[in-house]
Chains A and B, each alone.
Chain A
Amino acid sequence: MLLLFFALLVNLAAASLTINVPPSTHLPNPHVLPATTHATLTTSNQEHILSASLTRSSTLIFRNIPSGRPESYLLDIRSSEYVFAPYRVDVAADGSILGVWETFRGNPWENRGAEKYVVDVANKRTVNVIVEAKVLGRKNFYEERAKFSPLSLVKNPMILLAIVALVFTLGMPKLMENMDPEMRAEFEQQQRASPISGAGSAMAGGGGFDLAGWMAGTAPSPMANAEGATGSTGREAGGNARRRA
């Protein structure tokens, strides 16, 4: 057991992987990352998923990458708010890291992205592999509540209409007073002739569509000509037939 332990110790030196979180546009200050941020190395049939916690210097360090067989790991960095790009980490049978590439979820595993690190075949003694993490974005958990502002009230068309109406009601008599008498007489004449004036009396006789009459069935529907009556009822009848069956 002890021997194995020391054998492992020797390997540990060769198989350390450091992930550095650099400042980026999404994450200008990596020190704001919460303490729960951690990285995992996953593959199938592991005893337990390898995990590394965030250090004070905003790095994530794996010291104990197991050796024994070549393995291809999926490296994920998990933080509650920030989304990181997944990496592919290939490890040789002796526990040394062969290469680190960006990978894409939902793509074939062979489909490697940008190369982050690849082993130098000539000089294989790499003690510590350092790669940089890539922040893809930031999660927004919360819904924004629409804030009340007087300006939004003014933008409301109903309020605008009311204001315009108010201005007319109050401003019109003033305007009329300032008009010269001849013009006023002409204007009043015109107003009497126009259908809008005396709206109260013109209500019943006015042209256009008689909604109340139509609802009561006394007036013909304005759409009666346009609609194909048979089409709609036919479909309905079909439905009924289905249900009965």
Chain B
Amino acid sequence: MRLQAAVLAAVCATPAVAIFTDEVNHIDFHHALLGAPSPDSTFFLKPSSASNASLLYTLSDRSILGAVNPRDGSLVWRHNISQSASPVGGAGLLRGLDGNNAVVGAAGDYISSWGAQDGKLIWDQQFDGGHVSDIELLEMEEATKSSDSRDTIALISGKSFGSVRRFDGDSGAVKWEYIDESGDVPFQVSSSPTEVFYISLQSGMLKSSKIKVTALDPVTGQQTRQLVLNSESDITGPESVLFVGANTASPLIVWADKSHKSLKINVIGTKQISSVVIDNTSDEEIRQITVHAPHKLNSLPHFLVHFKTGSGAWAEVYHVDLKSAAVTKAYQLPYLKGQSVVATSNIDANVYFTRVSDSEATVVSSASHGILGRWNVDASSPDLSQAAVAEVVAKGKSVAARTVVLRESGDWQLIRNDQIEWTRPEGLIEAVAAVWAEAEEKEDLAHELEVEGHDSIHGAYIHRVKRHLRDLQHLPEWVKDLPERIISSILADEVTNLDSFGVAKPVVVATRTGRVYALDTGRQGSVLWSVQASEKAWDVKDISARPGQVTIYLGDGGYVLVNSSTGASSYQPPVEATKLHSIANFMVPDGASLLRLGAVGIQENGSPATPFEDITGFLVTTSNNGRVLGWIESDNKTPVWEFVPPSGQKVLQATARPAHDPVASIGKVLGNRSVLYKYLSPNLVLVTAVNEKDHVAGFYLLDGVSGKVLHSVTQAGVDLAQPITSAMSENWFAYSFFGDAVGESSAKGYQLVISELYESSIPNDRGPLDAAGNYSSLHSSSTDSLPLPHVVSQSFMIAEPIAHMTVTQTRQGITTRQLVCTLPSSNSIVGIPRPVLDPRRPVDRDPTSSEAEEGLFRYMPFLDFDGKWYLTHARDVAGINDVLSRPTMLESTSLILAYGGDVFGTRATPSQAFDVLGKSFSKLQLVLTVVALTGGVIFLAPITRKKQVNLLWKAT
């Protein structure tokens, strides 16, 4: 208990840096992403029969299952169901039923059922040696059961068998299993109240297949009958069957002949095949045929076939007589140029089709061709629409429609009647590189000032007067805007508009799929523009920004230039194609910003692709054979030095200090006013090397110029399957790993180690450097050679793994730094204040008064992350691979951007926002106080004056 109290006191001592509730969504933004939704597994669903509210459910190509609120596009819940490490075979599947509070999802060998409203697990099952090919929910209600839970029928296909299983809706227990070992290709399942149909493809001669329908008893799983459809000439594999109905709403199997001349339709359970001639009035070839049929039980047996050609599309609506199995064409939706997508929806038994084309959205009933609703919507976009899902509501005689259009990039948007309500930029989930865009500088003023600086005094004076006179033309506007500015500054959300201080910079994000997005960090990360810069997936190695332009370096040595305000892009092919491993960017700090000197591609073997003669500097690279190499500008063939880790170890990664890493103080002032001098070298490299056999990790601190090992430490019992990360800044470095209990007294868990480097262990002493102003990494004479640092380390146990580490950067480095750690297991990002991670904290004793003055407090082996350190506070920020930090014009504030899965951005203020008037500063209150004081003075002045006069007269 006493220990806990000590921790509490310690936490209180460090400055609180947490976010205020009213700053949420104001200084930070978060795109909670799912990935590109799969068209077959995206639908509107009413999770509760009591309420009419529906949610949008989807399963993405990343196997993330999620529920989205259709009102504002916000995420209600999500789960990643790619549970196992095994690759997911094919797209995932998601099924749900109206009024049933469960959705069942399957991906690979894992099937799970989740509460539709709250996203909590109902049951899950994992198979070995097989993957789920199809799932359907049984719609029949059993008298013994509550109507809430529906059983699931799943088709599992293994290498040589197919298996149909029925899972209990509550527990997930297998009720029965039907195993098909005939060698047919398991295809789909379909259900009706009396039978469960297992549809497989029986391979015949010459790669053609027959469709085999096996009817099973839903209660016992016994085979009742079997049919083989004569489809040999048309079907070559699972991809040539267009549609298999899931249930009694549309118990159909639809396929087309090879030349797309006619459509074949079979009502499941019968042998009869109806053939319908496709009436292609356009003179183009049909590219794609999709069948849209209702899913809801008891709906009319109508369906729509959508035909897409190269430049347009049309659709035909068919009615089925289930008794006679006859199919008749009802009507046709006209051929329209451009994109067109169709969605099916139900109101009770009636079926409605919603069609969204480039310029309009229309709703028709399946029964007749009369248009029930037509809205002009500008849905055209270079990002082609792929599919749609819709929800139609009847309002008297007219209807209202909510349609979600899925785009090829993975983005999706909801169109309500004629309004685009929201767009979810799901393409961002593939982000691989990001950079803050540099605005094109306003060089006019700088130029004019330069002219004045170089002119004669008279000339400069006249120039300046002219300039000021020219500026006067803006005065009327300025005066006109003044009242508005004053009022808005009093009433505005933020006391001071900080945009001009560099806190609202746009971010350019490149995704793996070849798209480039620009996000406005000042306005909740809204998408400024997005372009498809590359037709296919590209290999982005690095991204860097220049004023007005962003360069994306590719793995083949070429690069893409993107205009950072419009998104216009151009590809520059490489001079000679070389396969690059990474890109080295040369930067020098120039005041508070960074000056970019150039970039050099690094090959797989660690050698620079070209000599970098025009740049003064050196380069440290890691090679694919597990070594660290040092290079100078003139030679790209032989390294200057080579670091080979001890035998058995291979280099995992190398970390250096950030390019912008200003040091405010060269020493640390102790409680007794003496100084420990920091070991500050810009050339430090921290190398992590691991031995996979012995589970040992070595951390080596090298001098980047000479390759000299300055410090090394070895950790035993390290789990190499778990993340090992490191970060370095100023005179300290930190690393984290999972350590197993190797001895009796050792602990098991995640560890965070912090080490600080000093020139000497003695205060007011610089060790061998003494009074030297300069030192050299290379010369080995005893006086000016590179001395070894004095290293102080402390290790902390932490509760969670750290997947990535970075350090907050501020303009001048005066603000205390935070170690920004990505926590993948709790989907959050935490900024640990450096004062907490001080390796000089006294161990096993309370701090002395001088130590307490320094801000040191007693060392505790377990470092509990305080809630106030969480930069993401209550947000669930998943899948982060990289976190960037950038200084702003405000010393207190550092911009943070996290990407890789979700995209999250915030402003970190490690020492609180000391140079910003926060929201608690009320201008209104200030004005009122001044007014009240003025009133008081006006009221009291005559009284005082009278009194003084009276005093003078009455005195004598």
Chain A contact residues, CB within 8 Å of chain B: 1-2, 4-5, 8, 34-36, 40, 42-49, 51, 53-56, 64, 72, 74, 76, 78-81, 83, 86, 104-110, 139-143, 145-146, 148, 162, 166, 169-170, 192, 245
User: In the assembled complex, which residues on chain B have CB atoms less than 8 Å from the CB atom of A64?
Assistant: 126
Bound: A44/B801 CA distance, A = 13
User: A1 and B129 in contact (CB under 8 A), knowing A110-B745, A142-B18?
Assistant: yes
Q: What B residues does A5 contact at CB under 8 A?
A: 127-129
Q: A139-B870, A142-B873, A143-B20 are in contact. Are A108 and B746 (CB under 8 A)?
A: yes
Q: A48-B84, A48-B85, A141-B874 are in contact. Are A35 and B119 (CB under 8 A)?
A: yes
Q: Contacting A36 at CB < 8 Å: which of B800, B827, B860?
A: B827
Instruction: Judge whether A140 and B747 touch: CB under 8 Å.
Output: no
B546 at the interface (CB under 8 A from A): no
In the bound complex, residues from chain A placing their C-beta under 8 Å from that of B119 are 35
Encoded as 1 (CB less than 8 Å from any A CB) or 0, chain B from 869 to 913 comes to: 010011010000000000000000000000000000000000000
Q: B717 and A44: CB pair below 8 A?
A: yes
Instruction: Please measure, in the bound complex, the distance between the C-alpha atom of A47 and the C-alpha atom of B719, giving whole angstroms.
Output: 11
Q: How far is the CA of A11 from the CA of B769 in the complex (A)?
A: 66
| In the complex, residue of chain B having the shortest beta-carbon distance to the beta carbon of A78 | B826
Specify which chain A residues have a CB less than 8 angstroms from the CB of B721 in the assembled complex: 44-48
- Contact of A40 with B825 in the complex, beta carbons under 8 Å: yes
CB distance from B563 to the nearest CB of A (A): 39
Q: Give min CB distance, A90 to chain B, whole Å.
A: 12
Residue picked from B128, B797, B800, B936, most chain A C-beta under 10 Å: B128
Chain B residues with CB under 8 Å of A148's CB are 922, 925
B115 at the interface (CB under 8 A from A): yes
Query: With A106-B796, A139-B867 given, can you name 9 additional A-B contacts, CB distance below 8 Å?
Result: A5-B129, A35-B114, A42-B738, A44-B717, A55-B122, A80-B876, A105-B747, A142-B21, A145-B919
The CA-CA distance from A166 to B943 in the complex, in Å, is 11
User: B799 within 8 Å of A by Cβ?
Assistant: yes
Q: Report the Cα distance A85→B121, complex, angstroms.
A: 22
Cross-interface CB contact of A146 among B749, B860, B920, cutoff 8 Å: B920
Q: Is the CB of A108 within 8 A of B745?
A: yes
Residues in A neighbouring B718, C-beta threshold 8 A: 44
The residue that A55 contacts in the complex, of B22, B120, B127, B771, with Cβ under 8 A, is B120
Q: How far in angstroms is the closest Cβ of chain B from A42?
A: 7
A106–B747 touching, CB < 8 Å: yes
Complex-state Cα separation, A206 to B573, whole angstroms:
86
Q: Which residue of A lies closest to B823 (CB)?
A: A78
A5–B826 Cα gap in the complex (Å)?
32
Known interface pairs A56-B120, A76-B799, A145-B920; A81-B827 also in contact (CB < 8 Å): no
Q: Are A109 and B747 touching (Cβ within 8 A)? A: yes
List 24 A-B pairs, Cβ < 8 Å.
A35-B77, A35-B115, A43-B719, A44-B717, A44-B738, A45-B695, A45-B719, A45-B720, A48-B84, A55-B120, A76-B825, A78-B825, A80-B827, A104-B862, A108-B744, A109-B741, A109-B748, A110-B745, A139-B870, A140-B867, A143-B16, A145-B919, A169-B940, A245-B771
Say yes or no: A141 contacts B870, CB within 8 Å.
yes
Check if B861 sits within 8 Å of A35, measured CB to CB. Answer: no
- Chain B residues with Cβ below 8 Å from A80 are 826-828, 874, 876
Question: Which residues of A are found within 8 Å of B797, using beta-carbon distances?
Answer: 105-106
Q: By the criterion CB–CB under 8 Å, are A105 and B827 in contact?
A: no
Digitize B768-809: 1 where CB-to-A-CB distance is under 8 Å, 0 elsewhere: 000100000000000000000000000011111000000000
Contact indicator B749/A105 (Cβ below 8 Å):
yes
Give the CA-CA distance A54 to B796 in the complex, in Å.
29
Q: In whole angstroms, how far apart are the Cα atoms of A2 and B129 in the complex?
A: 7
User: Who on chain B is nearest to A47 by CB?
Assistant: B85
Residue B740 CB within 8 A of the other chain: yes
* Contact A142 B747, CB 8 Å, known A35-B118, A80-B876: no
Instruction: Give the distance in Å from the alpha carbon of A83 to the alpha carbon of B85 in the complex.
Output: 28
| Cβ–Cβ < 8 Å partners of B16 in chain A | 143
User: Any chain A CB within 8 A of the CB of B19?
Assistant: yes
Q: How far is the CA of A1 from the CA of B129 in the complex (A)?
A: 7
Q: Interface digits, B100-129 against A, CB 8 Å rule (1 contact, 0 not)? A: 000000000000001100111110101111
Pick the 8 closest A-B CB pairs, nearest first. Answer: A106-B861, A139-B867, A106-B862, A35-B119, A44-B719, A109-B741, A141-B873, A5-B128
Question: Does residue B711 face the partner (Cβ distance < 8 Å to A)?
Answer: no
Q: How far is the CB of B546 from chain A (nearest CB, A)?
A: 38
B868 interface contact, C-beta 8 A: yes
Q: B873, A53: Cβ atoms under 8 Å?
A: no
Nearest CB on A from B876, distance (A): 5
- A81 close to B799 (CB less than 8 A): no
Q: Which residues of A contact B740 (CB under 8 A)?
A: 43-44
B495 to chain A, nearest CB (A): 13
Output the least CB separation between B901 and chain A (Å): 14
Residues of B with C-beta under 8 A to A1: 128-129
* A105–B718 CA distance with the chains assembled, in angstroms: 17
Closest residue of chain A to B76, judged by CB? A35
In the complex, what distance in Å separates the CA atom of A74 from the CA atom of B744? 16
In whole angstroms, what is the CA distance A43 to B718 when docked?
A: 11
> Which parts of B903-956 form the interface with A (CB within 8 Å)?
919-920, 922, 925, 936, 940, 943-944, 955
